[in-house]
Amino acid sequence: MSSTPTTHTIHGHVKWFDPTKGFGFIVPEDGGKDVLLHANVLRNFGQGSVADGAAIEIEVQETDRGLQAVSVVNIIVVADTIPPLRDMEELSPEDIAKVTVEPARVKWFDKAKGFGFANVFRDPEDVFVHIDVLRRSGLANLQAGEAIGVRLFNGERGRMAIDVVTWDSIA
């Protein structure tokens, strides 16, 4: 007779997550040891990355190595902790939510530089994606070729993303 491992739900925040390494850690809000979050668990939720500091609700299971996340229930980004870009200072979250999400593909993104570019489908013009917009959207990084949704804005230096959503969230 085999027993199935038991799981329970915890709330916490993302300590850090590195999509290149394929894992990160969650700090439980009620204390205790950090919880391992594997990239596959995050992908099953429909995201390839998550912003450091984001509030998160996960199902966890005890393993030989400690607690591990087995599923993500919810991710809540506290966008107020990230100041808006100068181009976006006059836009409220309600204004941003009114903008249509356009399907796009990441051309390239360099987390160390803090920016990258995407291409909206059927439009040859590049769209600027700033790391702060990515973080406000709850993401930590983008991979070249990744399908995303973007809300666009004409800023001082051209078209830029004011919001980025995962492809799974719009599909």
* Residues 164 and 106 placed together within one structural domain of the fold: yes
Kindly state whether residues 153 and 106 are assigned to the same domain. Answer: yes
* pLDDT at position 102 over 70: yes
Q: How many domains does the chain have?
A: 2
Show the domain range for 70.
Answer: 7-76
CATH of the domain at 71: 2.40.50.140
Domain boundary among 60, 76, 92: 76
Strands 102-110 and 115-120: antiparallel
pLDDT at 166 (0 to 100): 83
Of 87, 101, 89, 74, the C-alpha closest to 10 is 74
Q: What is the pLDDT of residues 104-114, one digit of tens each?
A: 999 999 988 88
The predicted-structure confidence for 122-156, as pLDDT tens digits, reads as follows 888 899 998 888 888 888 889 899 999 999 988 77
Residue 44 neighbours by CB distance under 10 Å:
13
Q: What is the predicted pLDDT for the residue at 82? A: 54
User: Count of alpha carbons within 13 Å of 58, Cβ hemisphere only?
Assistant: 29
Residue 118 · residue 129 · CB < 8 Å: yes
pTM of the model: 0.64
Smallest CA-to-CA distance from 153 within 72, 95, 69 is with: 95
Claim to verify: residue 116 and residue 163 sit in the same structural domain: yes
Percent of the chain surpassing pLDDT 90: 36
Does any domain span residue 136?
Answer: yes
- Is 37 part of any domain? yes
Last residue of a domain, one of 55, 76, 97: 76
